[in-house]
């Protein structure tokens, strides 16, 4: 980013998920002035399902130019193809980012890299949707080989089917792995897309700071519940200011450019345990649904034949991955006990 931000941490990029109107963009940017260093707004929105709001497109570029001129904040948007890059450059945007759905495709990234050839525009490369470190590195390399501008890595978490605490599991060991492989690349974090809901954004931002990341990208909207995309994860500008105020920025006693095997392993262990807890909670929700079914159909809670089948199939699975049989049996017994407790509670409840 610009040189005068060299000693600033976190560098704050804030703004709406999507630009919706000139008035909206200017209202948010005005509220963020003095707190954010860059203004973000998506113009071309990659949506999971068709018929969702797909962004205002080219029209929004002049609103971003108005933010530069009238509010005095540098601006950035997401580019997903060469045409977007061409338009962003033509309008003099200050930086661009590549989204997670684009990073998964080396062809798409190469086209963007080619369009950026020789320019000095800074680029933030989000991680791909899934936890593939090499794919993320490859995208950063493609862009770095082409542009003369700074290239940054932007961690936005990883899609994980069925796990629900986060919209995208942080798996902190992946960005740390990237830092170990590419020590010169500065890391940014996007707690909004990791969290998916407002309540988690503070703690995710704090974790990113504790890991020594350089900056945060935080989705901010003047009327979040009415936002045309990502309504549940956008913060009011006043909440963003409070969040930044609440952050504790510690001295970087852990130098991320130094590899530390024990730190990396602990991060990995934390991340696996967090997923284990979520999986266990998911399993209990299924036990609850089965409990409702049993109650409705007058079945007993303990079905012996089913328990025997569980023990048998899980024994085979544990053998396949080399887990001690006795250990697995103990774990399963506790899990089963809790399921039975939940279902007995359901059976004894009034409705």
Binding site for ligand PEP (CB under 6 A): 17, 42, 46, 78, 99-101, 126, 156, 190, 193
Q: Which is nearer to ligand PEP, 9 or 101 (CB)?
A: 101
Phi, psi values for residue 93, rounded to 5°: -65, 155
Q: Could you give the 3-state DSSP secondary structure of residue 21?
A: coil
Are the C-beta atoms of 250 and 41 separated by less than 8 Å? Answer: no
Q: Which is nearer to ligand PEP, 173 or 190 (CB)?
A: 190
Q: Which of 78, 173, 190, 230 binds Mn ion (CB under 5 A)?
A: 230
Q: Which of 12, 13, 14, 17 binds Mn ion (CB under 5 A)?
A: 17
Q: Which is nearer to ligand PEP, 100 or 287 (CB)?
A: 100
- Residue nearest ligand PEP, CB atom distance: 99
Residue 190 found at the interface with Mn ion (CB under 5 A):
no
Q: Which is nearer to ligand PEP, 158 or 343 (CB)?
A: 158
CB of 195 to ligand PEP, least distance (A): 12
CB of 17 to ligand PEP, least distance (A): 5
Is the previous residue joined to 10 through a cis bond, with omega within 30 degrees of 0? yes
- Residue 67, CB half-sphere, CA atoms under 13 Å: how many? 37
CB of 194 to ligand PEP, least distance (A): 9
Q: Which is nearer to Mn ion, 48 or 248 (CB)?
A: 48
Instruction: Please classify residue 225 by burial: count the beta carbons closer than 10 Å to its beta carbon, then call 0-12 exposed, 13-18 middle and 19+ buried.
Output: exposed
CB of 190 to Mn ion, least distance (A): 9
Q: Could you say which of Mn ion, ligand PEP, none residue 173 binds, taking C-beta under 5 to 8 angstroms by partner kind? A: none
Q: Could you say which of Mn ion, ligand PEP, none residue 149 binds, taking C-beta under 5 to 8 angstroms by partner kind? A: none
DSSP of 105-152, one letter per residue?
-HHHHHHHHHHTTT----EEEEPPSS--HHHHHHHHHHHHHH-SS-EE
Segment near Mn ion (CB under 5 A), from 57-65, 115-123, 225-233, 241-249? Answer: 225-233
Per-position b or e across 101-112, b if 16+ CB within 10 A of its CB: bbbbeeebbbbb
CB atoms within 10 A of CB 240: 26
Per rule CB under 5 A, count of chain residues that contact Mn ion: 2
CB of 99 to ligand PEP, least distance (A): 3
Are the C-beta atoms of 98 and 109 separated by less than 8 Å? Answer: yes
Phi, psi values for residue 320, rounded to 5°: -60, -35
CB of 217 to Mn ion, least distance (A): 10
Q: Which residues bind Mn ion (CB under 5 A)?
A: 17, 230
């Amino acid at each position: 980013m610009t040189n005068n931000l060299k000693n600033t941490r976190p560098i704050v990029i804030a703004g709406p998920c999507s630009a919706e109107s000139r008035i909206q963009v200017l209202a948010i940017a005005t509220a963020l002035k003095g707190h954010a260093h860059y203004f973000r707004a998506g113009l071309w929105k990659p949506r999971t399902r068709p018929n969702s709001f797909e962004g205002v497109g080219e029209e929004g570029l002049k609103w971003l130019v108005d933010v530069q001129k009238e509010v005095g904040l540098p601006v950035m948007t997401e580019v997903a193809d060469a045409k977007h890059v061409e338009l962003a450059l033509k309008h003099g945007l200050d930086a661009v980012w590549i989204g997670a759905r684009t990073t998964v495709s080396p062809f798409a990234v190469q086209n963007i890299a080619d369009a950026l050839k020789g320019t000095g525009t800074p680029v933030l490369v989000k991680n791909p949707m899934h936890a593939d470190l090499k794919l993320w590195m490859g995208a950063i390399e493609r862009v770095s080989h082409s542009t003369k501008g700074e290239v940054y890595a932007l961690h936005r978490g990883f899609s994980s089917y069925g796990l629900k605490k986060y919209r995208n599991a942080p798996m902190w060991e992946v960005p740390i792995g990237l830092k170990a492989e590419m020590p010169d690349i500065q890391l940014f974090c996007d707690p909004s897309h990791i969290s998916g809901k407002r309540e988690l954004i503070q703690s995710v931002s704090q974790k990113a700071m504790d890991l020594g990341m350089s900056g945060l990208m935080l989705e901010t909207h003047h009327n979040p519940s009415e936002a045309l995309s990502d309504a549940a994860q956008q913060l009011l500008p006043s909440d963003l200011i409070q969040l930044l105020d609440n952050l504790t920025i510690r001295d970087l006693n852990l130098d991320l450019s130094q590899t530390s095997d024990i730190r990396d392993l602990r991060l990995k262990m934390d991340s696996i345990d967090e997923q284990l807890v979520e999986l266990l909670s998911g399993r209990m929700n299924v036990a609850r649904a089965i409990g409702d079914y049993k109650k409705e159909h007058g079945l007993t809670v303990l079905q012996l034949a089913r328990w025997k089948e569980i023990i048998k199939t899980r024994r085979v699975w544990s053998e396949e991955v080399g887990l001690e049989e006795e250990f697995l049996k103990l774990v399963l017994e506790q899990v089963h006990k809790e399921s039975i407790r939940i279902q007995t509670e359901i059976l004894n409840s009034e409705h």
